[in-house]
Chain A
Amino acid sequence: MNRGLSKKIILVMLGALCFLVSQVVLRIPLLNFISNNLSLKISMSYGFLLGILQIISAGVFEEGFRFLFRQFLLRDDKFKEKGLISFDNTIKDAIIFGLGHGLCEVGFVVVLAFSSSVPTVANTLLILYERFLAVVFHVSMTVIVFRGFNINRKFSSLVLAVFLHSLFNLPILFLSQLGIIGLYTLMSVMTVLIFKYIFKKIKKGEIV
């Protein structure tokens, strides 16, 4: 296997590991622990607040660990960084890492969705479309976080990614008002807007 391909495989696996550590190992058990120990009165009285905190926690954990993986596990030799694994630090590499993250999440969600009962064809198509949006979103967030390292603004890029992640998930709290089609339409619009932002940065030369 040539070195280029093995590097790409490592990046995909790191992306997948990033999802597993941030969500499956840490965030989901933490949220389950908290919800199991909250009284019914508290969880109902502060339902909306708890929803907001849950949404923000997704951004903090996923983007935070994307940042940590980039900081400590990946190394661009051009900048004399100290990460474990050398990589080319191009937009292609960010996309590959993001794909690893997003596709691992797809696998996790699909297994969950199909484990209790087999969804209808319509629901399956909706799940797959939502997962497609999620993969595109994870790739975009990876590009944004990694770009921060290239333009010496890694922390503000991280904050931006956490904010965008929270904003992307926020409509879920209004599912009953929006309906599933309204929700997915909003998420699709946000995905397009994030793409536009990234293309703008590519034109400016901040992402190569």
Chain B
Amino acid sequence: MKKIVWVVILILCLVACSGKDENVQSLSPDEVSEYVEKSQSIIEDFYDEDFSKIREEMNDEMKKVLKDEDLKNALVTIKGKGDFLEFDKADAVRYYDEKTDANYIITQQQVNHEEGKVIFTLNYDEAGKLAGFFFK
């Protein structure tokens, strides 16, 4: 019985230590709309393999790190999900990164395909330039 009590106390301590991340803030509905539309446009360019248009949206750091070849290889992994059907749920938040002392807009967009869904996460810096491009 003692062992059970200690284990439960340890787990509760662990849970209590993981507080709320205050660096995440809501956006206004207009801001959410603006960034979601921007992300959808970039995703469409990605699917159309119009990588030069995507590069125009990137910040300087991203341009150095992410090449067209990487985007092309990434697109291949999505092909297995079948044809694009529709944009589904989307959301956006503001996130303050303590390491870089900068604010970012993080958007998440679900895309439904014939044989599954893909969730894109696009990050924008304070100048509205694309700073991150991920999907799962």
Chain A residues with CB under 8 Å of chain B are 36, 39-41, 44-49, 51-53, 56, 115-117, 155-156, 159-160, 162-163, 166
Question: Contact at B77–A44, with CB atoms within 8 Å?
Answer: no
B24 interface residue (CB < 8 Å to A)? yes
Which chain B residues border A56 with CB–CB below 8 Å?
11
In the assembled complex, the Cα of A157 lies from the Cα of B13 at a distance in Å of: 21
- Give, as a whole number of angstroms, the nearest-CB distance from A190 to chain B: 15
In the assembled complex, the Cα of A53 lies from the Cα of B80 at a distance in Å of: 31
B108 interface residue (CB < 8 Å to A)? yes
From 11 to 62 in chain B, residues with beta carbon under 8 angstroms from any chain A beta carbon are: 11, 14-15, 18-22, 24, 26
Which chain A residues border B18 with CB–CB below 8 Å?
46, 48-49, 51-52
Question: Contact at A156–B1, with CB atoms within 8 Å?
Answer: yes
Question: Contact at A45–B11, with CB atoms within 8 Å?
Answer: no
Which chain B residues border A36 with CB–CB below 8 Å?
89
Nearest residue in B to A38 (C-beta to C-beta)? B91
Question: Contact at A160–B91, with CB atoms within 8 Å?
Answer: no
Question: Contact at A41–B7, with CB atoms within 8 Å?
Answer: no
Question: Contact at B3–A40, with CB atoms within 8 Å?
Answer: no
Nearest residue in B to A51 (C-beta to C-beta)? B18
Nearest residue in B to A42 (C-beta to C-beta)? B24
